[in-house]
């Protein structure tokens, strides 16, 4: 558990911090996770902004909610909103800022903030429903500085910071002046219990109400206990084997071999067996993209014969392909790759697994490596485009410097497209292009399983946030 809880930056984007931070901060626009089944709703509803209007292709006016109090007792103003967005954007809170679409944020009057984008940005609302849209008090932030703010964060959320015991716990108390529904809990204590067995035991003895990150292989004792149950969700993330396709002369530089590696894997079987039937084979087409999603496309099929034909066509001569993974980093990844190696062997692929200890050792060694990616926001301008597109972080390296021109064109059409049809067509074409190029083998969506005390009405979301607002929490004893 980190000791800094600034509203932005790499720490708050991490899974464990997001669980806590979601109770401390509100966003300008709120994603209503309960508007859809299984905590995966995508409806964007008013948050700290009560309404919004697109006044031109590149200008959006947000009407800011009045009378909202920060935890330090001050009242939120448009200046706080302008400061927060600029500050988060400027802090390089990847990849939201890296998408680089915002030109300016200015206060128009006492209750209106105008965001101007460099190009038309149809995904702006979705962006404002992420970390990018979190608001914190300018005066306090500037007085204490980023570091101190990280230790004593102040937001507008339903729970306020009540303290931390190093290495043990973080405590939040209900914020009595919360602008929304009264928080249902007087306080929440997030305990750091690294050992799974201890988390399970503590849940079963009633010491904890909710235990996070229960591996699929250990859900049974919780389900078998009279007082507890497992609530699991496939999160908006995809785990993958990413190819270093820029390495000329190596087998993976040939897209036929990459595709053969994908086709020879029964990913539905992997997803089913490794994740206890709770998830499916991976794709970048997330249901969270709403009307843009194309579920009928589905993931690449399991086609070992097709894989053999592609390998023969490519003249693959059994050269060793090395996959690097950071041991224990992704739940089930080692087992997934070990099982995959048997499937690859059956079509004649010679794959070696190289397990390393940490990301620092990853370097550029090997031909492929295990990674994961998020949906990031409820718009197809997130996900694949965030990571593999124009500003796609380190994955630019996997393309060999820059993404192919066609990929960039389609991505730009999605990012800046002026109408639904254009964007949807571009998105479909981008998925098609992905399946042709196979920059990575998309294995499955991982599962986040919570052990929960029966009697708690609490829905886990398809993201790592834990929501204890009134709409999502009730204790029936």
Partner 1 sequence: MTRYILIKILRSTFTLWIVVSAVFLILRASGDPLYSIFSLGTPESTLDVFRAKWGIDKSIFEQYVIYLSDITKGDFGTSFFDGQPAWDLVVERLPKTLLLGGTTFVISVVAGVTLGAIAALKRGTFWDRGIMTAAVASFSMPSYFLALLLILLFSLKLRWLPTSGASTWQHLILPATTLGLTLSGSIARFVRSAMLEVLRQSYMRTARAKGAPKWRQIVWHALPNAAIPTVTVIGFQLGWLIGGSVVIETVFAWPGAGRLFITAIGLRDFAVVQMFILMVASTVIIANLLVDILYGLLDPRISVIGVKK
> Where does this chain bind partner 1 (CB under 8 A)?
2-4, 10, 13-14, 92, 94-95, 98, 147, 150, 165-169, 191-195, 197-199, 201-202, 204-205, 207, 357-362, 371-373, 386-387, 391-395
Nearer to partner 1, 259 or 453 (CB): 453
Contacts of 420 by beta carbon, 8 Å cutoff, 6+ apart: 291
CB of 323 to partner 1, least distance (A): 16
Q: Which is nearer to partner 1, 19 or 199 (by Cβ)? A: 199
How far apart are CB 387 and partner 1 at their closest, in Å? 6
From the CB of 84, what's the least distance to partner 1, in Å? Answer: 20
Contact 52, 61 (CB under 8 A): yes
CB 301 within 8 A of CB 331: no
Q: Which residues pair with 117 in a beta bridge?
A: 102
CB-nearer residue toward partner 1: 346 or 394: 394
Q: Which is nearer to partner 1, 239 or 264 (CB)?
A: 239
Q: How far is CA 98 from CA 105, 285, 387, 398, 465, in A?
A: 16, 21, 10, 18, 22
- How far lies 312's CA from each of 122, 303, 320, 349, 436, in Å? 44, 14, 16, 11, 17
Beta partners for residue 165, in sequence order:
169
Residue 227 beta carbon to partner 1: minimum distance, rounded to whole angstroms: 12
Given a contact cutoff of 8 angstroms between Cβ atoms, the answer to whether 149 and 136 are in contact is yes
Check if the beta carbon of residue 450 is closer than 8 Å to that of residue 223: no
Check the CA dihedral 333-336-338-341 and report its sign. Answer: negative
Task: Supply the minimum distance, in Å, between the C-beta of residue 346 and partner 1.
Answer: 31
Nearer to partner 1 (CB atom), residue 135 or residue 235: 235
> Which of 200/337 has CB closer to partner 1?
200
What's the rounded Cα separation, in Å, for the pair 337 and 265? 10
Shortest reach from residue 237's CB to partner 1, in Å: 12
Residue 388 to residues 84, 159, 343: CA-CA distances in angstroms? 27, 36, 27
Please report how close the Cβ of residue 206 comes to partner 1 at its closest, in angstroms: 9
400 Rama sector, left if φ>0, alpha if ψ -120 to 50, beta otherwise: left
CB atoms within 10 A of CB 142: 12
> What is the Cα–Cα distance from 18 to 154, expressed in whole angstroms?
15
Q: State the nearest-atom distance from the C-beta of 228 to partner 1, in Å.
A: 12
- What is d(CA 58, CA 35) in angstroms, rounded to the nearest whole number? 28
Q: Please give the C-alpha separations between residue 5 and each of 24, 77, 465, in angstroms, as whole numbers.
A: 9, 22, 14
CB nearer to partner 1: pick between 107 and 201:
201
Q: Which is nearer to partner 1, 191 or 309 (CB)?
A: 191
Question: Closest approach of Cβ 169 to partner 1, in Å?
Answer: 8
Q: Which is nearer to partner 1, 167 or 477 (CB)?
A: 167
**How far apart are the C-alpha atoms of 248 and 358, rounded to whole Å?**
26
Minimum CB–partner distance for residue 309 and partner 1 (Å): 33
Residue 367 or 373: which CB sits closer to partner 1?
A: 373
């Amino acid at each position: 558990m980190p000791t800094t809880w600034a509203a932005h930056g790499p720490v708050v984007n991490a899974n464990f911090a997001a669980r806590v931070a979601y109770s401390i901060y509100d966003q300008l626009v709120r994603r209503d996770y309960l508007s859809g089944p299984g905590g995966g709703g995508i409806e964007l509803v008013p948050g700290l902004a009560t309404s919004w209007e697109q006044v031109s292709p590149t200008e959006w006016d947000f009407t800011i909610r009045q009378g909202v109090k920060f935890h330090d007792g001050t009242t939120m103003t448009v200046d706080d909103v302008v400061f927060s967005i600029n500050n988060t954007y400027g802090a390089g809170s990847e990849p939201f800022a890296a998408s680089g679409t915002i030109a300016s944020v200015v206060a128009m009057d006492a209750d209106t903030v105008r965001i101007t984008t460099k190009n038309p940005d149809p995904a702006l609302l979705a962006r404002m429903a992420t970390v990018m849209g979190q608001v914190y008090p300018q005066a306090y932030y500037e007085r204490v500085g980023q570091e101190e703010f990280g230790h004593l964060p102040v937001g507008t959320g339903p729970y306020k910071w009540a303290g931390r015991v190093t290495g043990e716990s973080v405590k939040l108390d209900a914020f009595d002046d919360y602008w929304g529904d009264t928080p249902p809990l007087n306080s929440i204590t997030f305990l750091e219990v690294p050992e799974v067995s201890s988390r399970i035991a503590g849940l079963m003895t009633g010491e904890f109400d909710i235990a996070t990150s229960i591996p699929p292989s250990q859900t049974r004792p919780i389900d078998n206990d009279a007082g507890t149950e497992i609530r699991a969700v496939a999160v908006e993330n995809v785990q993958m084997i990413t190819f270093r396709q820029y390495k000329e002369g190596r087998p993976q530089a040939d897209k036929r071999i990459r595709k053969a590696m994908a086709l020879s894997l029964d990913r539905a079987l992997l997803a089913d067996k490794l994740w206890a039937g709770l998830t499916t084979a991976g794709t970048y087409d997330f249901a969270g993209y709403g009307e843009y999603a194309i579920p009928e496309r589905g993931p690449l099929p399991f086609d070992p014969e097709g894989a053999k034909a592609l390998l023969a066509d490519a003249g693959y001569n059994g050269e060793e392909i090395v996959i690097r993974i950071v041991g224990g980093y992704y739940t089930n990844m080692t087992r997934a790759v070990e099982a995959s190696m048997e499937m690859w062997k059956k079509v004649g692929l010679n794959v070696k697994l190289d397990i390393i200890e940490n990301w620092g050792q990853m370097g550029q060694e090997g031909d492929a490596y295990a990674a994961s990616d998020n949906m990031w926001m409820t718009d197809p301008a997130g996900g694949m485009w965030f990571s593999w597109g124009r500003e796609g972080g380190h994955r630019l390296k996997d393309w060999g410097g820059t993404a192919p021109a066609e990929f960039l064109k389609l991505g730009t059409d999605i990012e800046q497209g002026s109408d639904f049809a254009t964007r949807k067509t571009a998105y479909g074409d981008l998925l098609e292009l992905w399946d042709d190029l196979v920059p990575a083998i998309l294995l499955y969506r991982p599962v986040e399983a919570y052990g929960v005390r029966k009697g708690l009405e609490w829905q886990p979301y398809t993201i790592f946030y834990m929501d204890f607002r009134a709409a999502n929490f009730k204790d029936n004893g």
